[in-house]
Amino acid sequence: MTGLKQLLAAAHAEVPAISAAQAQAMIAAGHAIVVDVRDAPEVEKSGKVSGAVHVSRGMLEFRADPDSPYHDKSFHKDRPVIVYCASGGRSALAGKTLKDLGYAEVYNLGAFKDWVENGGAVDHPIEPGM
């Protein structure tokens, strides 16, 4: 029987973790896609990595698969993908899913707060009514 601990361990083993500095360098090089897999209320509350695509964890397969009618054209299997969430668990699972879908170069940035604490640029949500 496989439980959450085993799923997370397998995901962490397959999807390398990167630091905020490493992610910033990859983003600056201009070829990586950054994906926020948190739920919409989390993104609305805190913002997201500047330029990141928001795809909640539950919709990832639908947005990342080019054969899906819901495919997001931001996803390209030949580009590196950096995923993150609130603590690193959902992004590890999301990264493994992307690998399973044929994305060769996938990295787990981990927690959004680590990005912020390391001076990463953030896109803040527009206040309601503005």
12-118 topology per CATH: Oxidized Rhodanese; domain 1 (3.40.250)
85 is catalytic: yes
Stated pTM of the model: 0.92
Output the CA–CA distances (angstroms, integers) from residue 20 to 70, 72, 112, in the order listed: 30, 25, 9
Q: What average pLDDT does range 74-93 have in this prediction?
A: 96
pLDDT in tens, 9-61: 999 999 999 999 999 999 999 889 999 999 999 999 999 999 999 999 999 99
How far is residue 115's CA from residue 80's CA, in Å, rounded to a whole number? 18
Active-site residue among 37, 49, 52, 85?
Answer: 85
Give the residue-averaged pLDDT of 74-91.
Answer: 96
DSSP element (H, E) containing 81: strand 81-85
Which long-range CB contacts under 8 A does 40-44 form with residues at least 24 apart? 42/86, 43/125, 44/125
* 58-78 mean pLDDT: 96
| pLDDT of 126 over the 70 cut | no
- 130 falls in which pLDDT band (50, 70, 90)? very low
